[in-house]
Amino acid sequence: MKFNNETLKEAVKELSPLLKDPNYLVKDHIYHSFIRQGNLVEAIRDKRYRMIRWTNLKVKKNVVYELYDYVKDPEERVIIENQNKYISKKAYSFLINIQTDDEFIMERLKAYKN
C-alpha cells in the first residue's frame, strides 16, 4: 500500500481510539505474510487461533495449511486443522479470498528483497 496524505489521515483516524485507550480492539484478527524457504507464508491470527498458508513460489498449486490453538498449544507444536472443522473453515475462507496471483506474489518478493 502506498501512503499519501489521505491514506495517512485515514490510518490516524482509525487508530485514534487506540491511542486514547490501549485496550481498544481495532480488529478481532490480524493478517501477516512473509517469504520463507521458497514459500509465500500467509497467516491469520485471533486471540485463540492461528491458521497459516504456505504457498510454494515455484509450484503455486503446492499449498499447505496449518491451524494452531494458542490456548492449548501456545508453542505451535500440534496442528489441529482436522480437529476443529468450524475454525478451519472460517480461517480457510478468509485466506482463500486473499489475492494470490502472480502480480501479488511479485510485489511480496520485491518488498522482501528490499
From its phi and psi, is residue 38 left (phi > 0), alpha (psi between -120 and 50) or beta? left
pLDDT in tens, 89-98: 776 676 666 6
Domains of the chain in start order, with CATH, are 27-113 (3.30.1120)
Structure-block grid coordinates of residue 28: 478481532
pLDDT in tens, 14-72: 677 777 887 777 677 788 888 999 999 988 888 888 888 898 988 888 888 888 988 89
Cβ atoms of residues 39 and 65 within 8 Å: no
pLDDT in tens, 74-89: 999 988 876 767 676 7
DSSP letter at 12? Answer: H
Would you place residue 99 in the very low, low, confident or very high pLDDT band (cuts 50, 70, 90)? Answer: low
Cβ atoms of residues 14 and 26 within 8 Å: yes
More confident position, 107 or 89: 89
The pTM for the full model equals: 0.61
CA-angle at 102, arms to 98 and 104, nearest 5°: 45
